[in-house]
Structure 1
């Protein structure tokens, strides 16, 4: 079978695959899930390591995937993560492999993941203040995250990127402090507008800290200049800080949507293709795979799934409905 592009009806081609390895997490961030956690997916519904590698391999060999990001939940709690990374690397040494993590287990695993072929990590960290970290995550684990970040840097999993969400009245005034700290440690910081993907469905457009507000807060301490390099399909708008070389990114998924340049597709931990982070429909590859479908059939099903991708996420549409699955079950 000749490779087929994962194209949609609007001319976009997906080359960036986000693969959720678990819906479970060892933090309880207030903007993601309730303190008591969620009803996790039954074990028999989760893709096995072999099934993950097979589907990722189909994406790479038959569908033009050039970047794979392993996500969750928290992917570091997936026992087979290192093996999955190593086997994915063997499929194509040129494909970029990364992990999005809360970094709790990264100090222990960074070197092993680098040896397995991982290229870099994205770490979720919203504050460097211990009390605020506890307020947001409901856990006292800031030291573990900081140690994990340092271990990733030392292992060569660079650039080490940090994703931060600002919450009104909680950590929004800490934006300059977080950026100064990130620059001092050589990390690439990205602020992300809070998106309607929480399990509680408490998201409010009025309460969300917007990109413009993020710029205003950073401007109290820094001078930001739009970066010269083209953004392309990258979700972050990049800015040089005080003339460079340091940069900061702002991902304004809500107020400055970049749907027209989207090149991402998602595979959930239970084997469903999601052609958009905010999609309300999914395409089941797991059932077909377990029923004996061959690689070419699964590839064709994946291609059909992409044809249903909408022009945009529609958050600003009055008829917008939040996805039934929360972010922890979709994969970032």
Structure 2
């Protein structure tokens, strides 16, 4: 048997993780992702025939695994708006070599689908939740969706046996007063809470640097009330810096794309809902894999296209975000197309 040779990009980063967006649609209109004035009733989402089928997604998953991918995360838009999603989970789970499948969701539909997802073989769920204050949460999600229904979804996922993580995007002057209430609540609930620095994803969220709450400030606030101690990374390329509450097993994570960029160890590729492969959350252009699939190209042809794509990868947007370079002035793909 030939020794496996890892696929490396121009900065010697291996391909280990694939994030698959299964739909560009979402039932929320969070301002940092899909603001209503851009993604309103007249916005044209992808037609059904443009989306990759479950069979196409499963085939691509197998090809990516043959190139070194071990973990697959299902994203959106809101992935639970894609009909029969548990079927896709089961299909990908049957691909030899897939070690882990996870899902990121806004939690609005999770209570309804949690058990079916678990039965299909999903083991980990990440829920986006930016406040426990109902009025503030309804304003932030742009659709008046009550926080209680998301909490119910988290509870249903835990009851179904999922490892649940919660992601909170922190914006100064918007929800930073919720940092401590969220930390207290999810420490008590036993779920890992991860704080995400507000990022300039896509082109429509009006991002400004002064709206970012640095992760170190978040750690300092929590540590002053509930002492923390740092933990070692659990794997190469881990996005979150982890801390544990002193004398407790409960932990938090900090995803610090703005103030502590982790481009140097990024192992993630992203597949958009219409089958374009992107090398970075902040990329402007993708490689079209759907055409290769629908032209009847072989697995070897598609594998070679992915290999060439990754070998040429040189992205490090977050490391140079605060510089004024031509790369930063390119129009970026919207996060709702490729997930977070």
**Do they superpose with TM above 0.5?**
yes
**How much has 1:46 moved relative to structure 2?**
1.3
The match for 1:166 is 170
What secondary structure sits across from 2:229 in the alignment?
strand
Moved more, 1-10 or 286-295: 1-10
Contact map agreement 1:278 1:322 (CA 8 A) in 2? no
Q: 2-side partners of 1:82 and 1:93: how far apart?
A: 19
* RMSD (CA atoms): 1.9
Residues in 2 aligned to 1:253 and 1:211: alpha-carbon distance in whole angstroms = 9
Contact 2:90/2:121 (8 A) holds in 1: yes
The one of 284, 288, 299 aligned to 1:295: 299
State which drifts further: 173-182 or 200-209. 200-209
Query: 2:80 pairs with 76, 82, 90, which one?
Result: 76
- Superposed counterparts of 1:85-104, under 5 Å: 85-92=89-96, 95-104=99-108
Report the Cα distance in structure 1 between the residues aligned to 2:222 and 2:235, rounded to whole angstroms.
21
Measured after TM superposition, the shift of residue 181 of structure 1 is: 0.3
Give the number of aligned pairs.
Answer: 330
Which residue does the alignment assign to 1:39? Answer: 44
1:149 aligns with 2:154: yes
Determine the C-alpha separation between the residues in 2 that align with 1:119 and 1:93: 16
Q: Is 1:248 matched up with 2:256? A: no
Distance 2:172 2:53 in 1: 40
Q: Note the alpha carbon deviations across 1:189-215, whole angstroms, 9 max, x for none.
A: 000011111441401112212212222
CA contact (8 A) 1:33 1:199 kept: no
Mean alpha-carbon deviation: is it higher for 184-193 or for 33-42?
33-42
Q: Distance in 1 between matches of 2:193 and 2:290?
A: 36
Quote the Cα distance in structure 1 between the aligned partners of 2:192 and 2:273: 28
**Deviation at residue 72 of structure 1 after TM alignment:** 0.3
- Report matched runs for 1:317-328 at 5 Å: 317-319=323-325, 320-321=328-329, 323-328=331-336
Q: State how far apart, in whole Å, the 2-side matches of 1:311 and 1:286 are.
A: 23
Alpha-carbon spacing, 1:66–1:92, altered in 2? closer, same or farther (3 Å): same
Which position in structure 2 is the counterpart of 1:315?
Answer: 321
Residues 243 and 311 of structure 1, relative CA distance in 2, 3 Å threshold:
farther
TM-score after normalising by structure 1 = 0.94
CA distance in 2, matches of 1:131, 1:18: 32
Gaps of at least 5 residues in structure 1 are none
SS in 2 for 1:219: helix
- Tell me, yes or no, if structure 1 residue 112 matches structure 2 residue 120: no
Residue in 2 that maps onto 1:268 = 272
Deviation at residue 324 of structure 1 after TM alignment: 2.6
Q: CA 1:19/1:6 → structure 2, altered by over 3 Å: closer, same or farther?
A: farther
Counterpart residue number, 1:129? 133
